[in-house]
Amino acid sequence: MQYIPEEDLYRFTIIGPETDIHDRLHYHCLFAMLQEAACLNAERHGFGADKMDELSACWLLLRMKVEMDVIPKWRDVIYIRTWSQGFERLLFNRDFDIFDENKKLIGRATSVWVIAHQGDHRPVRPTSIPGMEVFVTEKPSERKAEKLAVIPDEKRAESPKFKRFADYSLIDRNMHVNNTQYIAWSEDACYSQIPRENSIKELTINYSSEVHPGEEVQLFCTEDEGTVMVDGIEVQSGRHVFSTRIISSSN
């Protein structure tokens, strides 16, 4: 990754392990790039990981939506620009543009975040932290990461089921499964329901609860005319973990 200050762009080169059987960039890897850009942008504005550690706080992602016109491939270079869209009460909004190597716009994204205590992950009011005014914006985002409805119980009973586990390699510095992994799980479920030659054009995810080391998650999915819905449920407690909506199309 390289930051280009004069254009306010983050440059990424796609490597082989980030791509699928068609050499297309995995969405969970794209999400990782978007979030790395977000973290570095927050750091440039004085609220990166080190500062948040000083505050005993962390950034937590609640919702995100990505729409791609073109799916980048192995060895492609992409550029990401991200900016804050301010905050309202507890929620921070952040947008992204994604460009190809010729700086042509090929995708866009929007996200909703919250600041939380590192210990219990309870939300922190932004107005209680000095300096948060750097994230204020005059124009609210026109992009929306929608709240998704969960799969109804009657459809869940009929849907395909998959099991996933919170193994060590999936746990991040916040001591839960990294949110990009839920995208990978959703991709696994998605491609059991749609033709492999199809590609994901739009993905929206809502995060509702954390998955801790050793926990087991059951995935449920439904498909309707190219739209796949995926729900993750923690097995022992029965709590809802995430919902994903994936829209695909033929190439």
DSSP 166: -
pLDDT at res. 115: 96
pLDDT at res. 225: 83
Low-confidence ranges of the chain (pLDDT < 70): 138, 194-197, 251
Domain 1-145 and domain 146-251 have a common topology:
yes
233 Cβ contact partners less than 8 Å away, ≥ 6 residues apart: 217, 218, 219, 220, 239, 240, 241
pLDDT at res. 197: 65
Q: Measure CA of the first residue to CA of the last residue in the chain; give whole Å.
A: 28
Give the residue ranges of DSSP H helices in 136-220: 153-156, 179-190
pLDDT digits (tens, 9 = 90+) for 30-65: 999 999 999 999 999 999 999 999 999 999 999 999
- For residues 132 and 87, is the Cβ–Cβ distance under 8 A? yes
167 Cβ contact partners less than 8 Å away, ≥ 6 residues apart: none
pLDDT digits (tens, 9 = 90+) for 88-110: 889 999 999 999 999 999 999 99
pLDDT at res. 196: 66
pLDDT at res. 251: 63
Q: Give the start-to-end residue ranges of the domains of the chain.
A: 1-145, 146-251
Chain Cα centroid distance, residue 93: 13
pLDDT at res. 156: 87
- Residue (of 131, 25, 128) closest to 84 by Cα position: 131
Question: Which residues lie across from 161 on neighbouring strands?
Answer: 220
1-145 adopts what CATH topology?
Thiol Ester Dehydrase; Chain A (3.10.129)
In this structure, CATH architecture of domain 146-251: Roll (3.10)
